[in-house]
Amino acid sequence: MDTPTFIKERREAALKERDQLTANLERIQRDISTLDEEIKWLDSHPSAREEAHPRQPRAPRGERLSQILSIIISHQNGIDRGATIGELGIKGNEREENSVSNALLRLKRDGKVPHDKATGLYSAPQDGEAAGE
């Protein structure tokens, strides 16, 4: 077999192998897309969300407020919402994070803690200080 014939045959074989690999790759990409859709559907199922954050018994009324107030008082320079959530160990649990937001708003509204809009920090009330801004 001469060199030009060898090159031609090898090129055809390489192209055929490339076509097969491309077809396999397309099939694998379709399979991955199908699995991604299934995972998305499974994650959206209500019971999947409950398993991610199993419900715990409800704390007595006012306990969350007192926990948050204690955290705020323990931080001399103030603390923001995110750090408060981090200290409570509830980051990623949307329901609990909303609970903290509501409690912070209530503490601010009731004048129990001042809030600095510029920094976003909640701080321990000073003598006679209110949450008004």
| Residue 131: inside a domain | no
Domain that holds residue 104: 63-122
- The answer to the question of residue 130 being in a domain is no
Distance CA(110)–CA(74), nearest Å, equals 20
- 39 in a structural domain: yes
Residue 19 lies in a domain: yes
Query: Using 50, 70 and 90 to split pLDDT, how confident is the model at 132?
Result: very low
The pLDDT of residue 14 is 97
In a domain, 129, yes or no: no
pLDDT of res. 133: 43
Q: For residue range 47-105, what is the model confidence (pLDDT) as tens digits?
A: 665 555 566 676 678 888 888 989 999 998 999 999 999 998 888 888 889 989 999 99
Say whether both 46 and 67 belong to one domain: no
* pLDDT the model gives residue 1: 76
Query: According to the model, what pLDDT value does residue 131 have?
Result: 42
* Domain tally, the chain: 2
Residue 16 lies in a domain: yes
* 75, part of any domain: yes
Distance CA 96, CA 90 (A): 6
118 and 75 inside one domain: yes
Average pLDDT of the segment spanning 35-50: 80
- The verdict on 48 and 81 lying in the same domain is no
Average pLDDT for 118-124: 92
